Structure 1
Amino acid sequence: MIYEALSCVTEDINNNLKRKLQINEDKMILSGIVNQDGSIAIQGENKMLVTLVNVEKETARASVSNTGAAVFNATSAAVSINLYVLFSAYFTGNNYAQALRFLSYTVAFFQSKSTFTAQNTPMLDSGISKLSFELESPGADRMNNMWATLGARYMPSVLYKVRMLTFDDSIIKEYRPAVAGTSGETLPAR
């Protein structure tokens, strides 16, 4: 469900950027920043990266009582999590101004659409009722530690907390790995 949530948001931002900037290229890509061997994980340059940097358990789970008030319950068969998602500008040195522009576009997008539901995002997975994006202000020390942990050099970036995905065993479905095509591209399994 994490993949479904982040790929949907990435696609939505790309569609918005294509419409507003009149471009054909996907500028936002869901990707790690570095591979396990320390090499750069991104194919190409001049992209905005969407990277999951942390997952945390939501300790208070809200449910609605008969009166319509929110009741928080810490025990349930399901677990709810929050995601920390980093949007970073991977642009070459000559395009630093473009990096800052796309970082600004990202913040502006979430200012206009901070909540994703089936009503405003039809492509949202049916197992996700709502995603809420909150801008985080991690501070210089925490940001420095995060980039060091990621094993990458700092890039202009913004961090969002995404509330909240709820998991139970109903999300487990048959897994079909992708099949590599003859030209090396990955094709979805049928």
Structure 2
Amino acid sequence: MLDRALVFFKEELSNYIKIKTGGQREDVVQFPEIQLPKEIVMQNNAITSLMVNLEEERTFRSGATRINHLSSQGNQAEIPHLDLNFHLMFVANFKDYAEGLRILSLVLKFFRSYRLFTQKKFPQISPEIQQLSTELVNLTFMEQSELWRSLEMPCSPSALYKVRMLIFQDAEIEQVETGTALRNILTETSLL
């Protein structure tokens, strides 16, 4: 599901930039190439879309390891869903610095115009995804420095968005077997 969310953003953002530039920029949003052992390679004259963090949304989390549902077929148990947020960074890697800033500005406009992505508004979004919302993340200079250092990349014009919330739910429901009903309980006590 993560792949579908990232591809959705890549395609929608590329289409938006193509429209806004009058068709001058096609497929300008790209994923990086990962080369072993750990090098991230960005394409030239493109916006690189990169997931930099994945976190569990704990606000809606149930502490239970299983959720039981009573039905006419017996007691059914399912594993609670997993709610995830991720941070998506868009890096402008252009030879012409001003052009990179212009295209990065279009990224900012896109996410300002569309903050909530639903099936109704975007039918091309994967049916597994109920909705996604985005918010621009403000990093301090120290946090930015740490992020770029951890990516082992030179600092470039970029925007970081927090995307909420992917809900992972296993489609399989496990049937919990229940034994026969207890009729009599015999308790024995002994005197010493």
TM-score (norm 2): 0.76
1:130-172 Cα offsets, whole Å, 9 max, x none, are: 000000001111111111111111110010000000112239x
| Higher percent of residues as helix | 1
CA contact (8 A) 2:47 2:91 kept: yes
Give 1:40 deviation, angstroms: 4.8
2:35 counterpart SS class: coil
Following the alignment from structure 1 to structure 2, what is the Cα–Cα distance between the partners of residues 49 and 112? Answer: 20
Superposed displacement of residue 36, structure 1: 3.5
Number of aligned positions between the proteins: 156
- Equivalent pair of 2:32/2:40 in contact (CA under 8 Å): no
1:1-190 correspondence to structure 2 within 5 Å: 1-23=1-23, 25-31=26-32, 35-42=35-42, 44-61=43-60, 73-75=61-63, 77-92=80-95, 95-170=96-171
The answer to whether the 8 Å contact 1:87/1:158 transfers is yes
Whole-angstrom distance in 2 between the partners of 1:132 and 1:119:
14
Mind listing any 5+ residue stretches in structure 2 that lack a counterpart? 65-79, 173-192
Q: Which runs of 4+ in 1 moved over 6 A?
A: none
Q: Which residue of 1 aligns with 2:72?
A: none
Percent identical residues? 31
Partners of 1:25 and 1:37 in 2: CA distance: 31
Larger relative contact order (CA 8 Å, sep ≥ 6) = 2
Mapped contact 1:8–1:124 kept (Cα < 8 A): yes
Q: Aligned Cα RMSD in Å?
A: 1.8
In structure 1, give the amino acid aligned to 2:86. Answer: L
Find the structure with the greater CA-based Rg.
2
Whether the aligned pair in 2 keeps the contact of 1:132 and 1:162 (CA below 8 Å) is yes
